[in-house]
Structure 1
Amino acid sequence: MDKQAEVSAFLKSRRDRITPEQAGLPSYGKRRVPGLRRGEVAQLAGMSVEYYTRLERGNLRGVSDSVLDALCNALRLDDTERDHLHALARAANPGPARVRHRPKPTAVRASVLRIIEGLHDQPAYVRNNRLDILAANPLGRALHAPVFEYEPPNTCRFVFLDPRAPGFYLDWERVARNGVGVLRVEAARCPYDQELCHLIGELSMRSDAFRTMWGEQDVHVYTEGTKRFLHPAVGELALTHETLDLPGDDGLSIAVYNAEPGTPAADGLKLLASWAATQEQEMTAKAESDH
């Protein structure tokens, strides 16, 4: 990906969304731009128009953290957007090749597998920042059964390329936008990840919706929330999810879904567990008969 183009598009998209009124600046007459002018951003950030113009053209080489922070304040960036801009700056000022190309974990540690396997009544899985599912407990596989038809199972690939996805995720657009935001954060953090570049390229080529959302430059980090599923076997499930980073495995995290006891969602998870057990028994019986 063109790093300068990424920087330029991100800064312009953030500038376009802020009105002079929101920034506390006077506005006179008809404006030709949807948000702030470059000179107004420069004024708010305490820098020359020429210097800000250089930054918005994608040239972040040698920029200091204090300048980035001033720019973040001027553009009213949230914490995720701030981290994203700093990541773009690090990519523009790369260190030694051994840092830029540090290896990523390709397997889930046994102790982490034991953690998710121990969550008998909660769907759980381990994912990387490309949104590949690397491991899951039985209930996690059952909840995301359509996603596991892909190899490797990748939630963003399912969301944008499978026609069943809008029916499976009842809040499809929110899930889709969140997924795009996660990939954009990761693209800035690890610009040399070839598998990520291939995934973004594939989705851009095959999905109009992905191309549109990718062009909006939004960034996102998963923490917690609620997802609504329409599961093909058990019907509607509204589940709370938490995402827990694994500090010892850079880029890996555990996603856990749960339901408050006594709710329809809790009953749905019990039904899902029963369905998963039946599926496992049928697969075992089939394997034995084949032998």
Structure 2
Amino acid sequence: MKKFGLIGAAGYIAERHMKAIKETGNNLLWAADRFDVMGKIDSYFPEAEFYLQDDSSQNRIKANSTDFISICSPNYMHASHIQFVLENSSNAICEKPLVIYPKELDDLKKVEEKTGKKVFTVLQLRYHPVILALKKEIENNPDKVYDIDLTYITSRGKWYFKSWKGDIEKSGGVATNIGIHFFDMLHWIFGKVQKNNVHVYEPHKAAGFLQLEKANVRWFLSLDCEDLPKNAKEKGLRTYRSINVAGKEIEFSGGFTDLHTVTYQNILDGNGFGIDDARESIELTDKIRNAKLVEKKGEVHPFLIQKR
């Protein structure tokens, strides 16, 4: 049984980490957060200590030796929290995105080397059965180049833009905050980026075109419910997710709930994903965020064409 701590325990994603720790047969010794309402922890580890995260809590956290510390804090805190964890003689398991800026990856590699501890990240789409089947299909057709439309709309209310998530310096912007898993999945299956055109980059949506080694990808990400297709609106849906590969819809809406547990089990078995695995998607989203917009012509996502 491994001993765990958890930083950022009040966020919604933290519960998936608690569940994964419990389902892999391990123990959460403590959790920490700036927010002090933590009732959900009682369902998983009612005996765990809780630290109200402030300047005085670090020494108390250091006194509790752990094998792993899970990080579910806001994106902009990840790099500093990972460094703290490694220097506290624990391994880190960090929720996506691992960091916002590519330079932070290089800095953390140095801390890994200095401390001998490891950083692991959550790239759960790489464990999704449908995505694994797609990867195998692509590997069996090495000379084929695929046309792909990626569409992800997840409606958010006004609170989003008043929180850290609406601050591009703290979240990395929409491509990083809601798109990082998809960009990781695409390059993992279809190869490295050859061309990157960005047509739209706004606080609530982004769109562009990627040429990968084995795919041409038109992508569209949005937080705006007005971008939902008509059939989704008629059903009262707030989220729409679609990946169309060579005219075939890849349905993977289900099967997400247990992927954190699969992620944890692989880490515990010595097969987790680390800094180098996360690098390609973090470098890509950084380039998307800083790209000069190009004219909406040529390979443009259908949702942008419809809005002209």
TM-score normalised to the size of structure 2? 0.23
Task: Choose between structure 1 and 2 for higher RCO, CA contacts under 8 A separated by at least 6 residues.
Answer: 2
Q: Which of 1 and 2 has greater Rg?
A: 1
**Structure with the higher helix share, 1 or 2:** 1
